[in-house]
Structure formats: C-alpha cells, structure tokens
Amino acid sequence: MRRQKALEILESLGLFGLWRKFGEPVLVGAVAQGLVQTLDIDMEVYSGNPEIWQGFEVMGQAASRPGVTGAQFVNALDTQDRGLYWALSFRDALGENWKIDCWHVGHDHPDAHQAERFAKAVARVLTDESRRTILKLKSELRATGGARGIDICRAVIQGGIRDADGYRQWASANPPDPGMVYWRP
C-alpha cells in the first residue's frame, strides 16, 4: 500500500518527466525494492553534466504542485558525494508527511547506478517470506533505534535472519559499513 502511494505521489509531482529533460531519472531505495516502511522516496538522476540551475527548474515546477510543503538543496559537487542533492517534503491527503530525496550525479560518478543495481538485485531475489521478514524487521528495529534497510536486506537474504534478536547478533558479528555499501545478493 505504501509503495503504491509513493508511486502516486511521484506521478502527481511529475518528477520523472521533469527530470528527463536533463538526464535519466531512476527510482531507487525501498520504493524500487517494494520494501517501503517509512514515508521516504529515493531517486537518482544521471546525466552528462549536472548543473545547479537544472535542479532549480525541476524543483521550482514540482514545488508548485499541491501537497508540496518544502524543498531543500545541497551542492555537494566538491565533496566525496560529487553530486547535487534535492529534497521535497510532501503532505498527502491523509496528512502524512513524505520525504522525496533526489541525487543528481554525472554518469562518470564512481557510484553512479550503484543504488539502481542494488534495487534490481534485491527485487529479483525477494520471496514473499523474505519481503515480510524485512518489513517486519524494519518496523521493529525502527522502534529501537533503527538499522539501515540495506543492512536488514543483507542480514535476511545473505544471513537467513528472521527476527530482531537474530539481526542484532548478526550485525554484531557483521558490523555494517558506515559508508557506501557495495553488497548485492
């Protein structure tokens, strides 16, 4: 249900159509994997040369749409992230607040397409049981301080973990990498 709502929000904002003018927009993260637990939508845009003005044009049009309550921009071109970050805050008809994150990076970025490849790999190997387990763990672990979705996916898919205690033991023996994670199932 949350995944469907996320897709409806993206459609109402027209973000993919707006970004296509400047690059290749791709849905990544939990929405792409069908593992939505929090009200967060992630996308990336790949292009030859990300320009700040392009994002302002996209965000300017998207921000005028009903439901948008805020926008944020960070220029991280001169950092290790080497990209432009955009975020929209969106309140749906039920009053729930969503966050839409978008990274605009060059095709030559060392991690370009990494999140896209990960989302596709996870979607290919998920079973109904592993999907239910991941969603259950995301919910339980969020209540106790949380864990990153990628780490939960790895624990369930690779480690065969089925409950929160098992995850904690697994994470203790397999400490999550705080940076970019390159694991794929």
Instruction: Write the pLDDT tens digit of every residue in 152-178.
Output: 888 999 889 899 889 989 988 988 777
The rounded distance, in Å, linking the Cα atoms of 62 and 45 is 15
The rounded distance, in Å, linking the Cα atoms of 52 and 48 is 13
- CA 42 from centroid of its chain's CA atoms: 3
Domain ranges of the chain: 2-111, 126-173
The rounded distance, in Å, linking the Cα atoms of 166 and 132 is 15
Which residues is 74 bridged to in the sheet? 85
DSSP 23: S
Strand boundaries in 37-116, DSSP class E: 40-47, 68-76, 83-91, 97-106
Nearest to 85 by CA among 31, 29, 44, 32: 44
The rounded distance, in Å, linking the Cα atoms of 137 and 162 is 8
pLDDT score of 51 more than 80:
yes
Dig out the tokens for 51 from the structure: 């320009």
Task: For residue range 89-121, list pLDDT tens digits in order.
Answer: 999 999 999 999 999 999 888 887 888 888 888
pLDDT for residue 181: 67
Query: How many other CB atoms are found less than 10 A from the CB of residue 4?
Result: 10
State percent of the chain over pLDDT 70: 97
Global confidence as pTM: 0.83
Task: For residue range 54-82, list pLDDT tens digits in order.
Answer: 999 999 999 999 999 999 999 998 887 78
DSSP annotation string for 78-94: TSTT-EEEEEEEEE-TT
- CATH number of the domain at 2-111, please? 3.30.460.10
b/e per residue 54-88 (b: at least 16 CB within 10 A):
bbeebbeebeeeeebeebeeeeeeeeebbbbbbeb
pLDDT for residue 182: 72
